[in-house]
Amino acid sequence: MNKEELVELIKKGFLDISKLKLLLSDMNIVDIAEVFEELDREQIIQMFRILPKAIASDIFAYVDIEHQQTIIEALTDSEIGEIMNKLFVDDAVDFIEEMPANVVRRVLKNVRPEKRKQINQILQYPDDSAGSIMTTEFVDLREDEKVREAFDTIRTIGLNKETIYTCYVIRRDRMLVGVITAKDLLLARPSNRIGDIMDTNIVFAYTTDDREAIADLFQKYGLLAMPVVDKERRLVGIITVDDIVDVIVEESTEDIEKMAAIVPLDESYLKTGILQHAKNRFLWMLILMLSATITGTIISSFEDGLMALPILMAFIPMLMNTGGIAGSQSSTLIVRGIAVGEIALGDILLILWKELRVGMLCGLGLGLVNFIRVFIMNNNDWKLCLTITLSLFCTILMAKTVGSILPIFAKRLKIDPAIMSAPLLTTIVDAVSLIIYFSVAKLILGL
Amino acid sequence: MNKEELVELIKKGFLDISKLKLLLSDMNIVDIAEVFEELDREQIIQMFRILPKAIASDIFAYVDIEHQQTIIEALTDSEIGEIMNKLFVDDAVDFIEEMPANVVRRVLKNVRPEKRKQINQILQYPDDSAGSIMTTEFVDLREDEKVREAFDTIRTIGLNKETIYTCYVIRRDRMLVGVITAKDLLLARPSNRIGDIMDTNIVFAYTTDDREAIADLFQKYGLLAMPVVDKERRLVGIITVDDIVDVIVEESTEDIEKMAAIVPLDESYLKTGILQHAKNRFLWMLILMLSATITGTIISSFEDGLMALPILMAFIPMLMNTGGIAGSQSSTLIVRGIAVGEIALGDILLILWKELRVGMLCGLGLGLVNFIRVFIMNNNDWKLCLTITLSLFCTILMAKTVGSILPIFAKRLKIDPAIMSAPLLTTIVDAVSLIIYFSVAKLILGL
């Protein structure tokens, strides 16, 4: 049975509890969570209560935030405690961060003290830091434990899949000294000492490290999990690869939004209100609108020339658009190259030389097409032709240069290169392409 | 010692073999691979030969493609065989795909027949398919095996970390019937029958499935690995999360490139030659340049009006730019929303209604600022003011509408919405904003 059919049956009340339990037992918890999101309030709570206790908190972690709130508000204090105590700390934090204050108070009141402390600790880390995405559930071993004891520890803790395949070896003062994988343990003899077979070459993060940099490390080293330590290198948590996958997607989305001159949204498109949408787009629109005063002034200053040969006006959008796209192609490639670590600041001359040649090739090709088109459409006026074509060629070269240098300058000045992309580039390329156009026109057409 | 220091020492020949071996033994293989990339040909080969055999192929997998070629070309046939036989099939395929024919022949000749068959099989799957990114190394168990036997199998196969934590249960005909995690095995009794404790609710992919859709499944279900089956549901390989992380980054890069009107690059920015760069950018530049004929024609058709009131010319770039950014903000959000699965085609009316209101808010705000600016800068000419402001407002509304609808139409027509973003949107918004402008000017200013 697929999800839609199940939702249909539940909505119509066709399923009694035992049949529903049977159906759910064979489903993936993520899919069950999706079923919840299709139901109305009463049905959600009814259904949540019949779930086996063992999986209820797992499913809760996958339900979306509104339905999580619905469920929590309907549960008793002791039920809340049960769910929250079983929930991974990072999932609990994700949930609590989105809840109104009264719900947060009620939730924290019913969590056992130790877990409450862990939750409060993670809540204090700044957004986008390693501390904010870590979880505090992990398997920690001691150097003088034996492999056989390690297996007992793993079996007792019995944690979820992501958190058990790498174990962390700590000293008495909780300093991280090594890692050991479940594979190493399986291949070792039961009597081996952990300290003898652990790997002391550890890739780790500090709680304050930026989550994007951590995602890069996961990618570079192909990690499944990474330990997080405090300033004194004491182990405080781990970050698992499933959270990193989310980070990578979110960071790409942020970059894409910045490149399109949007302040990144905190929520998904549909969940963001229209006021917030307007707010996140208004600033850059305003800046671009006002900066167009410059182009307006340039055009006005050449008014006499344009009045003398009005056909020149018709080519302004073509020049500005072609320049605009030439520049944004270059800047987009550089911004992305920097983001994924393929381009370093030292590559600036290499890039400039590359873009100049690419610009030359594109400029020659487009110039040729343009020459033919203008020549045919404007009664073989070769002087006009030459003016437009030469301006186009210079504009493309200029746009490619500016587009490739701006992101690198931004990075050098520690400004986010993605932000440079749309607004500043457009302003510069528009203004300079007009100056090029009118200068060439004066020169060739003598206006 | 950090990487730079080590490279320096090796280059200067300050390290004898035993000291070098000692230093390398404490380093992460990914970092060793990076050291290779800094050395010249002779040193690379010398250093590669002193590596412990056990890790040489692991390191080889992380070295970049040019240096892989350098190494392979310098090795003897039997050394090549040793490396390739130990290499994971997916890493071997990644390497072979980039090599010239003569290297490929030599490599395949020295691989053992069974592995050669697996490599050839994967090479046949189309790019971007599940088959092309899977590996054929995995632990397969039978339903009537006992847990204790399963551990023996895992120990014997002794595979790498990604491939051991989920085992796949197959029937005699290799049909996939269940999965079981190392955690389940650890928590089970040694005498348990695999068939009794395996999970039959499997998230799997077919060899021909698109890798982007598979990445979505990894994200949705928080997977570490996914089995890949053929048409008859026989298990042929697995995909591991580290490869999925790469897929997610690459797919985001492709989307970003498409949105910036670039045909996606196959290689990184720096490794792509200038001819290829020019080729991948030329087409959309050409299309945009030619489509600007439309705006040119519209401007020419209003030449008399512009000659009568030349100041109108100065506002054309402002209108076109503000419209352009308003449209690209909307289309970017929708394109990305579709890509990450937050927006469905059925949301079109919801989106349109949202964008209209956002457009209205932004339009009112920008209109107000614009009105004041134009009023002050143009001698309190309120008719001109009204013309510009009204045109601006209508342009923003139009751009937001077009920008939000185009990607959804594209998706409906099964065209990649990212491609729609820049070129078609720019053309439409530019042309329509001019028509709006000139119509409003005729109406209010009576030109």
Is the CB of B310 less than 8 angstroms away from the CB of A307?
yes
Provide the CA A187 distance to its chain's centre, in angstroms: 38
Give start and end residues of each alpha helix (H) in A341-445: 348-377, 382-412, 417-421, 423-445
Enumerate residues 266 to 305 of chain B having a beta carbon within 8 A of any beta carbon in chain A.
Answer: 268-270, 274-275, 277-278, 281-282, 284-286, 288-290, 292-293, 295-297, 299-300, 303
With CA atoms as reference, report the closest residue to A79 among A100, A65, A99, A60. A60
Long-range CB contacts for residues B68-75, cutoff 8 Å, separation at least 24: B68/B95, B69/B99, B69/B103, B70/B41, B70/B44, B70/B45, B71/B44, B71/B45, B72/B99, B72/B103, B72/B106, B72/B107, B73/B103, B74/B41, B74/B44, B74/B45, B75/B45, B75/B48
pLDDT tens-digit profile, chain A (447 residues) = 677 888 888 888 777 788 888 888 778 888 888 888 888 888 888 888 888 877 888 889 899 888 899 899 888 898 888 888 888 888 888 888 888 888 898 989 999 888 898 888 888 898 889 999 998 888 889 999 999 888 888 887 765 545 678 899 999 999 999 999 888 888 888 899 999 999 998 999 999 999 999 999 999 898 889 999 999 999 999 999 989 999 999 999 999 999 888 999 988 898 899 999 999 999 999 998 999 889 999 999 999 999 999 899 999 999 999 999 999 999 999 999 998 888 988 899 999 999 999 999 999 999 999 999 988 888 778 899 999 999 999 999 999 999 999 999 999 998 888 887 677 899 999 999 999 999 999 999 987
State whether residue B87 is helix, strand or coil.
Answer: coil
With CA atoms as reference, report the closest residue to A373 among A393, A397, A389. A389
Is B34 in contact with B63 (CB distance < 8 Å)? no
Q: A175 - beta bridge partners?
A: A234
Enumerate residues 337 to 376 of chain A having a beta carbon within 8 A of any beta carbon in chain B.
Answer: 337, 340, 342-343, 347, 350-351, 354, 357-358, 361-362, 365-366, 369-370, 373
How far B75 CA sits from the closest chain A CA (Å)? Answer: 26
Is the CB of B289 less than 8 angstroms away from the CB of A220?
no
Token representation of residue B307? 């000659």
CA–CA separation, A238 and A179 (whole Å): 12
Is A141 in contact with A167 (CB distance < 8 Å)? yes
Most confident of the following: A5-9, A183-187, B16-20, B279-283: B279-283
Token representation of residue B235? 């298990």
At residue A161, the pLDDT reads: 46
Burial class (CB in 10 A: 0-12, 13-18, 19+), A220: middle
State whether residue A203 is helix, strand or coil.
Answer: coil
Is A294 in contact with A427 (CB distance < 8 Å)? yes
- Residues from chain B that touch A257, judged by Cβ atoms under 8 A, are 332-333, 336
State whether residue B183 is helix, strand or coil.
Answer: helix
Kindly tell me if the per-residue pLDDT of B38 is higher than 70.
yes
Please indicate if any CB of chain B lies within 8 Å of the CB of A433: no
Q: A235 - beta bridge partners?
A: A229
CA–CA separation, B89 and B84 (whole Å): 9
Q: How many CB pairs under 8 A join A and B?
A: 340
At residue B19, the pLDDT reads: 83
At residue B155, the pLDDT reads: 80
Any idea what DSSP says for residue A126? Answer: P
Is A228 in contact with A170 (CB distance < 8 Å)? no
Give start and end residues of each alpha helix (H) in B111-205: 113-124, 130-133, 147-157, 161-164, 182-187, 194-197
CA distances from A277 to B321, B418, B421, B426 (A): 19, 21, 19, 21
At residue A205, the pLDDT reads: 96
Burial class (CB in 10 A: 0-12, 13-18, 19+), A189: exposed
Question: What phi-psi label fits residue A341: left (phi over 0), alpha (psi between -120 and 50 degrees) or beta?
Answer: left
For A249, which residue in chain B has the nearest alpha carbon? Answer: B248
CA–CA separation, B237 and B201 (whole Å): 18
Is the CB of A183 less than 8 angstroms away from the CB of B162?
no
Enumerate residues 185 to 244 of chain B having a beta carbon within 8 A of any beta carbon in chain A.
Answer: 186-187, 200-201, 203, 218-224, 241-242, 244
**Which of A160, A278, A342 comes nearest B361 by C-beta?**
A278
How far B103 CA sits from the closest chain A CA (Å)? Answer: 26
Task: Report chain A's C-alpha Rg in angstroms.
Answer: 30
How far B128 CA sits from the closest chain A CA (Å)? Answer: 18
CB count within 10 Å of CB A135 equals 24
With CA atoms as reference, report the closest residue to A390 among A356, A436, A339. A436
| Least trusted range by pLDDT, from A243-252, A333-342, B326-335, B420-429 | B420-429
Is B327 in contact with B429 (CB distance < 8 Å)? yes
**Which of B165, B200, B249 comes nearest A165 by C-beta?**
B165
Is B179 in contact with B150 (CB distance < 8 Å)? no
At residue B423, the pLDDT reads: 78
Kindly tell me if the per-residue pLDDT of B159 is higher than 60.
no
Is the CB of A342 less than 8 angstroms away from the CB of B268?
yes
For residue B179, the surrounding DSSP H or E stretch is strand B176-181
Give me the percent of chain B exceeding a pLDDT of 90. 46
Is the CB of A358 less than 8 angstroms away from the CB of B281?
yes
B43-68 pLDDT per residue, tens: 888 888 888 877 888 889 899 888 89
Using alpha carbons only, give the angle B324, B327, B332 rounded to the nearest 5 degrees: 115
State whether residue A225 is helix, strand or coil.
Answer: strand
Q: How confident is the model at residue B161 (pLDDT cuts 50, 70, 90)?
A: very low
A107-116 pLDDT per residue, tens: 899 998 888 9
Token representation of residue B162? 């990604």
CA–CA separation, A141 and A180 (whole Å): 9
Question: Which residue is associated with the tokens 């709680």?
Answer: A207
Q: Which residues does A171 contact at the CB level (< 8 Å), separation at least 6?
A: A142, A143, A177
Token representation of residue A301? 């200053």
Mutate to test the interface with B, among A217, A316, A430, A432 (most CBs of B within 10 A): A316
Mutate to test the interface with A, among B6, B65, B186, B370 (most CBs of A within 10 A): B186
How far A99 CA sits from the closest chain B CA (Å)? Answer: 21
CA–CA separation, A35 and B249 (whole Å): 30
ipTM score above 0.95: no
pTM (2 decimals)?
Answer: 0.84
Is A333 in contact with B253 (CB distance < 8 Å)? no
CA–CA separation, B174 and B169 (whole Å): 9
Q: Which residues does B202 contact at the CB level (< 8 Å), separation at least 6?
A: B176, B178, B179, B227
CA–CA separation, B74 and B47 (whole Å): 12
How far B101 CA sits from the closest chain A CA (Å)? Answer: 27
Exposed e or buried b for every residue in A346-368, given b needs 16+ CB within 10 A? ebbeebeebbebbbbbbbebbbe
Q: For all residues of chain B together, what is the average pLDDT?
A: 89
State whether residue B268 is helix, strand or coil.
Answer: coil
With CA atoms as reference, report the closest residue to A133 among A225, A55, A256. A225
Provide the CA A154 distance to its chain's centre, in angstroms: 33
Please indicate if any CB of chain A lies within 8 Å of the CB of B155: yes
- The half-sphere exposure of B97 on its side-chain side, counting CA atoms within 13 A, is 18
A391-443 pLDDT per residue, tens: 999 999 999 999 999 999 999 998 888 887 677 899 999 999 999 999 999 99
With CA atoms as reference, report the closest residue to A436 among A284, A273, A322. A322
- Residues from chain A that touch B333, judged by Cβ atoms under 8 A, are 257, 260, 262, 265, 269
Please indicate if any CB of chain A lies within 8 Å of the CB of B334: yes
B174-213 pLDDT per residue, tens: 999 999 988 888 888 889 999 999 999 899 999 999 999 9
Is the CB of A286 less than 8 angstroms away from the CB of B365?
yes
The answer to whether the Cα torsion of A186, A187, A193, A195 is positive or negative is negative
With CA atoms as reference, report the closest residue to A285 among B434, B365, B375. B365
The answer to whether the Cα torsion of B284, B286, B289, B291 is positive or negative is negative
State whether residue A85 is helix, strand or coil.
Answer: helix
Is B162 in contact with B220 (CB distance < 8 Å)? no
Is the CB of B313 less than 8 angstroms away from the CB of A325?
no
Please indicate if any CB of chain A lies within 8 Å of the CB of B409: no
